[in-house]
Chain A
């Protein structure tokens, strides 16, 4: 299969921007990616917009004002994994020989507070009060604690690490360090998850430009190869995430992260031991612990140990969420995976400043969300 490279990346800071429309957020990220790739908008042959909460035809609304070049522009949605699907579509188009230069843009501008439940849940689930998103994450955490002895302190350590990393990321929302005590004393949202242990929906944008690997040198001296990009949806009863009304107590299918990671490792010919930096879906602090296990960074039930031993800190064997993760960046859903890709590309280029992982050559980005959508992308120098 034809190899595909990333030749440009761009980002608009994640956060809250009262006086900016989503058009501006998206255009700024797109223009930054074009400059990074030494390209102009007229050179792009196909564009995808990854989004969940923006209105219909947002891709065309954002990009067409940069020049009505007549190229196809398509919006893609798969909840938190939207960016993974959009990226995989771009790669397929290049591999098929249909396009040489493709832009994948992720943009979001979400309402404040809890997300509108009618977009995810049925009416009766909302009426009975079973539509608080963090409750699903919390129930998984509680079960993991029961089965493996994971503790409140382990959860707090995830939040501590990610908030600490974000201080050095100019594109993160919070950029503030919090003490373990402060995290554990922040209000409970859904037991055992505290306010400083979950991510906020917000606004932001990120963009990636891709081309066939053999042409990448024309545009950049630092191309990054896409070693794998695997979107997936969970097998039967294999993931407890909204909107679920029940689960099988008998089915034993592997979770979507496990499935996507396994495929991605196979495609890339790279195992987790050879990966230098990870950006993963820390929608809540517990989620990151479970993902350590499902990505194969440790055995099932041992996620907490990785935190106790500092293995997932910058400087550890498996640095996770060097950007600060969603806990510090916030989650502008459609932009989320592309923001992770931005971080990994920055790391692999050696341009991450104080949060740089020394000598990073391979990185992995992972997203997982509503409807059991998931994606794993592996990038290498």
Chain B
């Protein structure tokens, strides 16, 4: 069997159940939500129970790739712990992005920091954040200007 060449790394999600499958092509990947059939609330990622009503009947809902910035801040110092972003550290935006499905998702915002504004239109991007010890590309998400 042919070995995969070094430039065909396997891609894995940073958290299981966070994205739709498959992870390639990345342009088609969406964040996954779990919608409760009882109360219709949506949570991020794959869930077994609804954190609103406790119901156990949830369906997977792919979330929109586009949303609006609901609020934001700028991370000015390297976050504590095993941060996988650029080294040396570069300040970045962090915000809640409101999606049409009725959920606000916490996400890094890839944007000119001076231009960040509540209400701005954003689109999601899935990208390789780092390569793990097994040479897998670990895929994360962020939002940036449309």
Q: What residues of chain A lie closer than 8 Å to B43, measured between beta carbons?
A: 246
Shortest Cβ distance from B84 into A: residue: A127
Residues of B within 8 A of A116 (CB): 80-81
- Interface residue B58 (Cβ < 8 Å from any Cβ of A): no
**B71-118 interface with A by 8 A CB criterion:** 71-77, 79-85, 92, 94-96, 98-99, 102-108, 118
The docked-state distance in angstroms from the alpha carbon of A106 to that of B75 is 32
Tell me the smallest distance from the CB of A242 to a CB of chain B, in Å: 10
A: interface residue count bin: 35 or more
Question: Complex: how many Å from CA A6 to CA B107?
Answer: 46
Among the 9-residue stretches A33-41, A65-73, A128-136, A160-168, the one with 4 or more Cβ atoms under 8 Å from chain B is A128-136
**Residue A1 is within 8 A (CB to CB) of chain B in the complex:** no
A residues in contact with B73, CB < 8 Å = 135, 138-139, 142, 190-193
Inter-subunit contact A117/B80 (CB<8 Å) = yes
Q: Which of B52, B79, B99, B129 has the most CB of A within 10 A?
A: B79
Query: Do A117 and B41 form a contact, CB below 8 Å, given A129-B94, A130-B108?
Result: no
User: Does B15 sit at the interface, judged by CB under 8 A?
Assistant: yes
Comparing A87-95, A247-255, A297-305, the segment that makes contact with chain B is A247-255
Q: Which residue of B lies closest to A249 (CB)?
A: B102
Q: Return chain A residues, CB-CB under 8 Å to B129.
A: 127-128
Q: How far is the CA of A20 from the CA of B112 in the complex (A)?
A: 47
Label chain B's interface by main secondary structure. strand
Q: Does A188 contact B (CB under 8 A)?
A: yes
Of the candidates A123, A128, A191, which one forms a contact with B108 in the assembled complex, judged by CB atoms under 8 Å apart?
A128
Looking at chain B, what size class is its interface with the partner chain? Answer: 35 or more
A135 touches B80 (CB 8 A): no
Docked Cα-Cα span, A313 to B137, in Å, equals: 55
A residues in contact with B85, CB < 8 Å: 128-129
Please, which residues of chain B bring their CB within 8 A of the CB of A250?
41, 102
A248 near B102 with CB under 8 A, answer yes
A251 contact set on B, CB distance < 8 A: 41, 52
Return chain B residues, CB-CB under 8 Å to A122: 15
Assuming A118-B81, A126-B79, A245-B44, is B103 touching A135 (CB within 8 A)? no
Query: Which one, B70, B92, B98, B104, contacts A129 given CB within 8 A?
Result: B92
Q: Which of A138, A190, A245 contacts B105 (CB 8 A)?
A: A245
Q: Which B residues are in CB contact (< 8 Å) with A236? A: 41, 51-52
Which of B70, B74, B81, B138 is the one whose CB lies under 8 Å from A188? B74
For the complex formed, measure the closest distance between the CB of B36 and the CB atoms of chain A, giving whole angstroms. 11
Distance (whole angstroms) from the CB of A115 to the closest CB of chain B: 7
In the complex, A129→B107 CA distance in Å?
9
Q: In chain A, what residue has the closest Cβ to B74?
A: A191
Task: Answer yes or no: A244 CB below 8 A from chain B CBs.
Answer: yes
Question: Is B144 in the interface zone, CB < 8 Å from A?
Answer: no
Chain A contacts with B in 230-261, Cβ cutoff 8 A = 236-237, 240, 244-251
Instruction: Give complex CA distance A121, B80 in Å.
Output: 11
**Least Cβ distance of B116 to chain A in Å?**
9
| B14 located at the interface, meaning its Cβ lies under 8 Å from any Cβ of chain A in the complex | yes
Interface residues of B in 33-62 (CB under 8 A from A): 41-45, 51-52
Once A124-B15, A142-B71, A143-B70 are accepted as A-B contacts, the answer to whether A129 and B79 lie under 8 Å apart by CB is yes
19 A-B residue pairs with Cβ-Cβ distance under 8 Å, sorted by A, are A114-B79, A121-B81, A124-B18, A127-B83, A127-B84, A127-B138, A129-B79, A129-B84, A129-B92, A131-B79, A132-B80, A135-B75, A135-B94, A187-B76, A188-B74, A190-B76, A236-B51, A250-B102, A251-B52
Having A128-B140, A131-B80, A135-B73, one finds 5 other A-B pairs with CB under 8 Å, namely: A117-B80, A140-B71, A191-B74, A247-B104, A250-B41
Which residues of B approach A to under 8 Å, CB–CB? Answer: 14-15, 18, 41-45, 51-52, 70-77, 79-85, 92, 94-96, 98-99, 102-108, 118, 129-130, 138, 140
